[in-house]
A and B are shown apart, each in its own frame.
Chain A
Amino acid sequence: MGDPGKLNSSSSELDLDRPNLEDYLPSGTSIQQEPHGKLRLRDLLDISPTLTEAAGAIIDDSFTRCFKSNPPEPWNWNVYLFPLWCFGVVVRYFILFPARVLVLTIGWIIFLSSFIPVHFLLKGHDKLRKNLERLLVELICSFFVASWTGVVKYHGPRPSMRPKQVFVANHTSMIDFIILEQMTAFAVIMQKHPGWVGLLQSTILESVGCIWFNRSEAKDREIVTKKLRDHVLGADNNPLLIFPEGTCVNNHYTVMFKKGAFELGCSVCPVAIKYNKIFVDAFWNSKKQSFTVHLLQLMTSWAVVCDVWYLEPQNIRPGETAIEFAERVRDIISVRAGLKMVPWDGFLKYSRPSPKHREQRQQNFAETMLRRLEEK
């Protein structure tokens, strides 16, 4: 073994703008101390650390935990609780639900009979039209919130209409948007949905200003970043609300924030939302139920209780990368709402992780092995 081992240079440059995965994974995965001493057969045969990591992932992993909807514990039925529960079901489904549908219908009638005239008749007077449409969108959102008896506590100063600012919040369900929208008419960036939701998106949301993205299109990111930048600079545009997780998470964890919102050159105002699961779990598990079913579930429960915190605006610090900024803001939101941070990209729900993580491990192993080969 004359020549010293040489590593091939990695053809995939390690993605420098990713936080270090090893910082987040449980301690069992990082090799406890750097093994040293001369390389022996048993060091090559002993694959137990890698196997332990694999088994750990099979038994419990931080990614799946983020999307688990925890069904409520069944009650202990007995003589008096069961009839009480049945009575509750009757009230919820046959009294509350019809009343809520009625409220919602009235709300829609009021909204449409005001919105459509305003939209077409005031075509010349843009500023007035914009203000009225803003108020009307806030109104219909309030009706929505009332239709699930939303009990929302807002903390902190209300968002102000200023240019060069962007709002970011953690994401649990599409109702996050409605809850925030009833207070301030935000412009929003969303995945375009099919069905009646898509119809709403393309008509009403257009009036407050909306940007669409498509998860499945790779080039989409650059186009969307440009649209975001343009929107933020416009003085008349509504403040922009972004959900940087990119997907709905179960309100116990936060997944990694996409850096798009953090490299627009403006201040970022974090908003934290925490739902109280006492009556219903507001997490929209899009794999398990459609949005319509999710809404119906909310409308047949007692109430949706949540807290919204408007937190202090943050600016990127000198020398901080966009990713570090995003992680810092994610930390602020997670601490406020009592959520745990995990190092995974939400889009992994739909795709496999990139080979870079595996390559990092392979490189570490290879380096250690070759170093120990040289030791006497």
Chain B
Amino acid sequence: MGNTSSMLTQYDIEEVQEHCNNTFSQQEIVSLYQRFCQLDRSGGGFISADEFLSVPEFAVNPLSQRLLKILDGLNFKEFVLFLSAFSSRASLQQKIEFIFKVYDSDGNGKVAFSDMLDVLRDLTGQFISEQQREQVLTHVLEESGYTRDSLLSISDFVKTLGNSDLKMEVEVPVD
């Protein structure tokens, strides 16, 4: 399944489905493939950052740059795996793991104060000063029993987000 211009065979679909742990149905995978080919205008087998940013709805998203670091250069199989966290069949654990991955930009399995501050900065922009951001973050961390120097792991995330009703679902249009 190297070249995106070729059609998907049944084997390809099943391979991708296995890779994403059956979070998408075969029809959804076909739809995602059409979408992948539509975005991959240069036909290189992966979607470049520029091609993602040509979708205005994505470009205006505050977390677009952070997501691009993960998305850049993904082939179709990895692309589906990336989106699998947003399927209705994905478990809460998978969704929390995805959020963790967005925070943990260096991939060392630990989320530090600076990581959380970076994300907060993306979300609030210039409308809050850096000082206020640090104050707010320190305040809520201390309230939950952490400190500024705490390194949060995935289990901390599960503990914090586990019992909130996390809504993170996108429907794949199937024609």
Contact = CB atoms under 8 A, between A and B. Distances in A.
A, B from the same assembly: yes
Interface in B76-134: 83, 86, 95, 98-99, 102-103, 116, 119-120, 123-129, 132
A185 B91 CA distance: 63
Contacts of B39: 58, 64
A47 B99 contact: yes
A45 B50 CA distance: 28
Contacts of B123: 47, 50, 362, 365-366
Nearest to B71: A58
Contact of A45 (B56, B86, B116, B169): B116
Contacts of A10: 126-127
A61 B63 contact: no
A221 interface: no
Interface stretch (A106-114, A174-182, A350-358): A350-358
A19 to B, nearest CB: 15
Given A48-B167, A361-B62, A362-B62, A1 B57 contact: no
Nearest to B68: A54
Nearest to A358: B60
A7 B128 contact: yes
Overall SS of chain A's interface: helix
B30 interface: no
A55 interface: yes
B38 A366 contact: no
Interface residues of B, number: 56
Interface in A7-24: 7-8, 10-11
A252 to B, nearest CB: 14
Interface residues of A, number: 52
A1 B135 contact: yes
Given A59-B32, A61-B56, A362-B62, A41 B128 contact: no
Contact of B137 (A6, A44, A60, A370): A44
A46 B164 contact: yes
A297 interface: no
B20 interface: no
B166 A55 contact: no
Contacts of A47: 63, 99, 102, 119, 123
B57 to A, nearest CB: 4
A5 B132 contact: yes
A53 B170 CA distance: 8
A116 interface: no
B134 to A, nearest CB: 12
Nearest to B168: A48
| Closest A-B pairs by Cβ, 9 of them | A362-B125, A57-B57, A366-B127, A57-B58, A357-B60, A48-B168, A366-B124, A41-B144, A61-B57
26 contacts: A41-B144, A43-B140, A44-B137, A45-B99, A45-B160, A50-B61, A54-B61, A54-B64, A54-B67, A55-B170, A58-B83, A59-B172, A62-B57, A63-B55, A63-B56, A348-B56, A352-B56, A353-B56, A358-B125, A362-B124, A362-B126, A363-B125, A365-B62, A366-B127, A370-B136, A373-B139
Interface of A: 1, 5-8, 10-11, 25, 28, 39-64, 68, 344, 348, 352-353, 357-359, 361-363, 365-367, 369-370, 373
